[in-house]
Structures are given as structure tokens and as C-alpha cells.
Structure 1
Amino acid sequence: MSRKAIIVGGGVGGLAAAVQLQADGWDVEVRERAPALPGTGTSLGLWPGALRALDGLGLGGTARRLARPAAYGTFVRADGGLIGNVDMAALRRRAGDAVHVTARPALLETLAGALPAGVVRYGSAVGDVRELSGYDVVIAADGLRSPARTVLFGDAHRPRYAGVTAWHGTADLDTDGMTETWGHRARFGVLPRAGGRTNWFACAPAQERVPVPGGDLAALQAWFGDWHPGVRRVVDHVAETGGGHVRRNDLYDLAAPLPSYVSGRIALVGDAAHAMTPDLGRGACEALVDGVTLARELTARTRVEDALAAYDRARRRPTQKLARAARMMNRAVHTPRRIAPVRNAAMRFFLAVGRPPA
């Protein structure tokens, strides 16, 4: 008799857990409140650990075909001067792969496409996860503003505004590498995207949930219009196309880290467990690894409680360490002009001697 799992949330972590559990013979049900898979979305970097997780699901080849490997990673100043480079060759030697950049909708479609029809129930919200019955395990993958996290651990672990907002979009411009530009309290990034296009993002301090005076396009031009030509090229392109596809999201992490990713027979994965600012580009990667790790522990162990305890031991410490590092990076990047040279020197040193987590 197969064991039953319900997964609340059809994002990256929830779908990854569903694919692994389904392959291991579990009876799986996924509830997703959105009416369908998203048709649009930004790019995200798949680091080697996330690619290994996809390989374990039998989806690594598909994910790579839909992605573009980043030929380089570069950090520069607003005037175009070099801060430092990510050694992609060293990363490949150490971890066996480079960073691949993919569109979030493509990754979600890949994961959902590996599940039989009907496993994911779209337009199906879940109220209190504690009231779900008839399942051996409940997996809460319900995102940044996770209702499950709140009912299980309380409001102390609510999302906390980082003081920074992000604009992002896609441009019909080509690049084969990742470039991030750091200026006075702001930054601008470009990433490759399949089809010869570019995903871009821009971050700057702003009031939470407050419209920017003059509109988002005017804010982009005011913050970044006099930066180096690589940034101006994108900003000018956005202006020429009317700026109608610019999206804005305020940035958050958790006000306090969770004491556990498990409560009874309920486990949290992804942003529900460890929402972090996107400064390290690791949110989706860690959600993937969460989902696969949890599913494998559930299959490998007879008792669900033992599996959940093993998952918590394996994933809580490294993900919370990454969340702290992302928060520190966010604060360092959005620093006043007088401190920027120290920030840049510290980053240059880290890129020269450090080893980014793969």
C-alpha cells in the first residue's frame, strides 16, 4: 500500500518533492492556489548543486537544454571599472558544472511536465495545514508569505522588508554572461536568457509597497541613467519600448530564522522555510535541493518522523547560513558612497580567494 503525501504549493520546491516522491511510488497530491503555471517570469541561476538535484530527478538534461550556461560572471562599478570576476572554470572543476541561467516558467514547466496529469490541482488553495488529514506527510511549499509557517511557528517569523525594491524585465538584447554593477546604494544586473535575450534587474532603496514618484521607468532612469554603457544600453532599451513590461517586487527575508523546518508530520521547504533576499541568487536552487532531499529521506526511512528529522538536520543549517549571507550582501551592496570603496575591495578579495557555495 503506497504512502500518501500532500504538497501545498506548486512552486519549484513543491514540484521537485512531488516528482521525486512520485518516482519512489508515493501517492502524491499537489495543491496550488494559482489558476495555472505562470507564463512569464524572470531568469534564475541554476548552480551545480541544483543541477545535480535535477539530474537525480531525471530532468537535468532538459533543464540544461532550456537554459544558457553563463560564460562569465563579473562585478563592476557604476563607471564600468572592474571589481572582480567569478572564476567559472574553477567552479566547473570543483563542482562539475557551471551556472546555467533559465527562465523560471521553463523550470516550473519542466518539473510539472514530469508529473502525471491531475497530480497538480491548480486553483486549489489550502487553509490551515494542520487540518489536512488522511496523509502520511504534509509538505508546505507555500512561499514567502507562507500561511503554514505562520500557523506552525507564529508571527515572529514573518517576512521582513529589506528596505530595497527590485525592478526586473526582459530585453531583446543578447549577452552570454552575468554582469552585476554596484553603485551608490543601488545595483543593476543582466543575465543571459534563451533565444538571444537578456533578463535584467535593478535594485535600490524604496518605501515598502509605495509607488515610486513619477513611475517605475522614471525611477530606473533616475537611478541608473548615467551608469556605464552596458547598463545604459538596457535602460535605454526599456525606455524605447515604453517600459510597459517592467515589474517591481519589494525584497524580503524572514524576521527570525525558524527553530525547525518540521512540526509533527509537516515539513516546510523553499521560501516557506528560509526565504532569503536574492543577493546570492540561490532561492530557487535551495528550494530544489530541499524538495529532493526531503523526498529521498521520506522514501529511505520507515518512520516519517525520522525522515523529517533527517531532512531538518540536512537542510536547516546550510540554508539559514545562506540566508544570513544574502542579508549581509544586501546591506553591503546598498551602502552609502563613502563606504563603497571598502565594499568593493572586500568583494574583490572574496572573489580572488573565496569559494562561492556551489
Structure 2
Amino acid sequence: MGSTAVVVGGGIGGLAAAIGLRLIGWEVTVVERAPVLDDAGAGISLAANGMRALDALGVGEAVRKLSRGQYSGGTRTPDGRWLARMDGTALERALGTPMLGIPRATLHRLLRAALPPECLVTGAEVTSLDRSRPALVRVTCDAAVLDADLVVAADGVGSHVRTLLFPDHPGPAYSGSTVLRAITSRPIDPGTDFELTWGPGAEFGHIAFADGRAEWHAVLNSPAGVRHRDPLAEVHRRFHGWHAPIPALLEATAPDAVLHHDVNELVTPLPSYTVGRVALLGDAAHAMTPNLGQGACQALEDAVTLAAALNAEPTVESALTRYDTERRPRSQAVARAARQAGRIGQQLTHPLAITLRNTALRLTPPRAAARMILRHANWAPPRLG
């Protein structure tokens, strides 16, 4: 079994993979094309499966200290009527942890702190992989060359490594939705820990943080590539008249804090997450829509499962076969469920369909709603030791 790895991509999945590999004794180099890891991003919700993965990686407690539990909230209509209420206490009893809200930048910083600085290489883009030798992969990053026993591709939805491995795959597709999001510039009390509000072809949600600030996101049906000169003004215009605390969240936001991204996903599933001694992880393997809040959690599951397989199996090849067998069915099923959740949630526009959905949500017993969450969040990590 080899002991050197190159992780391509310094996001949440890549850093988690590097931590897991180091825990089992591997020497790891993380290659990130951005020149600076600047703690960008908005907010994130971590379900029990994500937290269990972080616990396995040894950083769960640090994340909990800087997170806020999601006990109150739910789903509403634009006029403020409740469609479904969240029972975070019941979820905590069932899973041992509540959903947690944390700034993405804070999670990224905590993961980065768990790695020695010298294993992070920034401003370097992978240009080629040489897999001609059976027990070694040569990675070319600009002018540098790295030889490794394993390459982990965690380079996101637009993964260059995935294109090198699967040149005939169609790659990511636009979901039909675009998202604008930001973190408030000052503390604000939104009244609940987590909310989603669904209108025709639109969603507005918030996550409250431990430091008193809150993240909000606005998801809209839109052609791909549409951008606004003043994104915050556009959100004000689009959600004018929606219930409190939406106006207050927007008023507490600096105009230059708004991020705008189209939502892309891998609609065509990959036939494998591994090729030779290269493993795909996170969005590079199974980019999904955010409708279940499972994207980062699935990447964290990938990281722990990969490290556990490498620690348990006699060869890299058998470990990657195990990783693919364990991760591909589950993560692709979650991706399908997320796509379906978007179609019956934020993306609905027909008034009759919206009425039927809202009625069904109001009539759904709380236990049945909780079972839907448990289906994805109730995952037990494999042992790393």
C-alpha cells in the first residue's frame, strides 16, 4: 500500500480528505488553484451525517463550539403562513445532534487549521495526469511535477480532473435555478434558527449563526448567466412584500456582500468514482442541487469513507473499489432526491401545483417529515482506526 497522496482542490471536501488521509498515516499535498484560501462563502447547515464525519476526522467539537443549533423554524409561504414546522429537539433525540448552522468560511478555517500549513499549495492548477505507470500517478501543476500513490480529485462541480478521466461525460448541467446569498454585516434576530419560504419559482431562506449574524439565500428560476448590476437591489425588488424577517435581513446586508452563482449539477451520473489510482470526491463526483442541504455533508462522508477504505484494504486498488462501491449508490441517490425536492419546492410555478404541494405539506404528520430528514442524515461513519 502506498503512502503519498495529492488532493486536488482545497475546499471543504478536499481539506477533509487530506485530514482523513493524514490520520491514517499518509503524506498529503493539497493543491489549490486559487492564490489565497480567503475564507469566502456564505452559510452552511450541517446535518448529523456531516457532523459524524467531522467527529471521525477529529474536528467535530471545534465545529460545534462555533455553530448554532437549528431547533426552531420551518417552511412558510410568502405571506408568512406556516407550511411545516421544524422540531430540532426531536431530531436531536433521534440522531444525537441537532442540525447546525455555521458560516462556510468558519468551517473551512477549522478544517485548514487541522492540517500543517506546509501541506497546502495555493496558486497551482493541475494541467495533466500521467497514469502510465501502474503504481504511481504523476501530477503536473503548472511548472511543478508531483508523484503520488493516490490522487484525490476534489476540484468542484467544474472538475478538470473529472474531464481528464471521463472526456465523453457531458459534465455539469444548469439546474434552472440561480442563487444569491449573503451574510448580514451586523447581528440580527431573525426569530428562528432556520427557515425556508417558497413562492412561485422562488425561495428565500435564512440560517442564524452563533455570533448573532445570519445568512440568507434567494433562489430564483432564471436563465443561466443572468447577472444584475446591483444584486441586493434586485433581491429587494424580487422579494418586496414577503414576510418578516426577510426585509430586515436584506436591510442588514452590505451591497458588496452578495454572492451570485448559478446552480449546476451532475445530472448524468458518473459510471465510477475511481479510475486507476485516482478517486473523485465531493462535487467533482456528485455535484447536486442544494435543496436537501446535503452537498457538503456528502463530501465529508466521501472523505471519511475513502480514508477508512485505504486503512482497511491491502492495496490502493482494492481500497478504491471499496470506496466506489460504498459511496456511489448513496451519494447519487441523495443527488436524485435533491433534484426532486427542488422540482416540487422552489421551482414550482403553476398555481394549482403549488396549492396541492402546500396542502400536502400542511397535512403531513411531523413524524413523517422527520423520517424524510432521517433517511439522509442517519449515516454512521466507518472506523478510521
TM-score (norm 1): 0.94
Instruction: Give the direction of change, closer, same or farther, for the CA distance of 1:73–1:286 in structure 2 (3 Å limit).
Output: farther
Q: How many residues align?
A: 354
Q: How many Å apart are 1:352 and its aligned residue?
A: 4.5
Any conservation in 1 of the 2:175–2:264 contact (CA below 8 Å)?
Answer: yes
**Equivalence for 1:63:** 63
> 3-state SS of the aligned residue for 1:194?
coil
Farther-moved stretch of structure 1 (313-322 vs 336-345):
336-345
**Equivalence for 2:51:** 51
Any conservation in 1 of the 2:181–2:218 contact (CA below 8 Å)?
Answer: yes
Any conservation in 1 of the 2:180–2:258 contact (CA below 8 Å)?
Answer: yes
Counterpart-to-counterpart distance in 1, 2:163 and 2:20: 27
**Equivalence for 1:204:** 220
The aligned amino acid for 1:115 is L
> 3-state SS of the aligned residue for 1:229?
coil
Instruction: Give the direction of change, closer, same or farther, for the CA distance of 1:130–1:105 in structure 2 (3 Å limit).
Output: farther
Any conservation in 1 of the 2:71–2:89 contact (CA below 8 Å)?
Answer: no
Counterpart-to-counterpart distance in 2, 1:40 and 1:138: 25
Any conservation in 2 of the 1:157–1:255 contact (CA below 8 Å)?
Answer: no
- For structure 2, the 5+ residue unaligned runs are 132-136, 139-146, 378-385
Any conservation in 1 of the 2:2–2:149 contact (CA below 8 Å)?
Answer: no
Q: How many Å apart are 1:94 and its aligned residue?
A: 1.7
Matched, 1:246 2:272: no
**Equivalence for 1:339:** 353
- The correspondence for 1:317, drawn from 317, 329, 336, is 329
Instruction: Give the direction of change, closer, same or farther, for the CA distance of 1:248–1:31 in structure 2 (3 Å limit).
Output: same
> 3-state SS of the aligned residue for 2:245?
helix
Any conservation in 1 of the 2:279–2:320 contact (CA below 8 Å)?
Answer: yes
Q: How many Å apart are 1:342 and its aligned residue?
A: 1.5
- The correspondence for 2:244, drawn from 226, 229, 249, is 229
Moved segments of 4+, more than 6 Å: none
Any conservation in 1 of the 2:39–2:109 contact (CA below 8 Å)?
Answer: no
Q: How many Å apart are 1:13 and its aligned residue?
A: 1.2
Farther-moved stretch of structure 1 (151-160 vs 81-90):
151-160
Any conservation in 1 of the 2:71–2:86 contact (CA below 8 Å)?
Answer: no
Any conservation in 2 of the 1:164–1:250 contact (CA below 8 Å)?
Answer: yes
Any conservation in 1 of the 2:203–2:219 contact (CA below 8 Å)?
Answer: yes
Percent identical residues = 40
Q: How many Å apart are 1:226 and its aligned residue?
A: 1.0
Matched, 1:288 2:304: no
Counterpart-to-counterpart distance in 2, 1:92 and 1:27: 37
Counterpart-to-counterpart distance in 2, 1:267 and 1:338: 45
Any conservation in 2 of the 1:77–1:182 contact (CA below 8 Å)?
Answer: yes
**Equivalence for 2:342:** 330
Matched, 1:21 2:21: yes
**Equivalence for 1:74:** 74
> 3-state SS of the aligned residue for 2:7?
strand
- Mapping of 1:1-358 within 5 angstroms? 3-130=3-130, 132-133=137-138, 134-171=147-184, 172=186, 173-175=188-190, 176-212=192-228, 215-238=230-253, 241=254, 243-333=255-345, 334-336=347-349, 337-348=351-362, 349=364, 352-354=367-369, 355=371, 356=373, 357-358=376-377
Any conservation in 1 of the 2:178–2:220 contact (CA below 8 Å)?
Answer: yes
Any conservation in 2 of the 1:8–1:31 contact (CA below 8 Å)?
Answer: yes
TM-score (norm 2): 0.87
Counterpart-to-counterpart distance in 2, 1:128 and 1:62: 36
Farther-moved stretch of structure 1 (37-46 vs 24-33):
37-46
The aligned amino acid for 1:114 is A
Counterpart-to-counterpart distance in 2, 1:331 and 1:54: 30
Instruction: Give the direction of change, closer, same or farther, for the CA distance of 1:17–1:237 in structure 2 (3 Å limit).
Output: closer
Q: How many Å apart are 1:155 and its aligned residue?
A: 4.6
Counterpart-to-counterpart distance in 1, 2:20 and 2:227: 42
Q: How many Å apart are 1:90 and its aligned residue?
A: 2.3
Task: Please give the per-residue CA displacement for 1:125-157, whole angstroms capped at 9, x wherever unaligned.
Answer: 111234542321111001010011112123534
Farther-moved stretch of structure 1 (128-137 vs 81-90):
128-137
Instruction: Give the direction of change, closer, same or farther, for the CA distance of 1:270–1:350 in structure 2 (3 Å limit).
Output: farther
Any conservation in 2 of the 1:75–1:179 contact (CA below 8 Å)?
Answer: yes
Any conservation in 2 of the 1:157–1:258 contact (CA below 8 Å)?
Answer: no
Counterpart-to-counterpart distance in 1, 2:66 and 2:2: 34
Counterpart-to-counterpart distance in 1, 2:361 and 2:7: 39
The aligned amino acid for 1:182 is W
Computed over aligned residues only, the root mean square deviation of the Cα atoms, in angstroms, reads 1.8
Q: How many Å apart are 1:123 and its aligned residue?
A: 1.1
Q: How many Å apart are 1:347 and its aligned residue?
A: 3.6
Counterpart-to-counterpart distance in 2, 1:3 and 1:244: 44
Counterpart-to-counterpart distance in 2, 1:330 and 1:221: 23
Any conservation in 2 of the 1:37–1:105 contact (CA below 8 Å)?
Answer: no
Task: Please give the per-residue CA displacement for 1:265-316, whole angstroms capped at 9, x wherever unaligned.
Answer: 1110000000001111111111111011101111111111111111111111
Counterpart-to-counterpart distance in 2, 1:229 and 1:29: 47
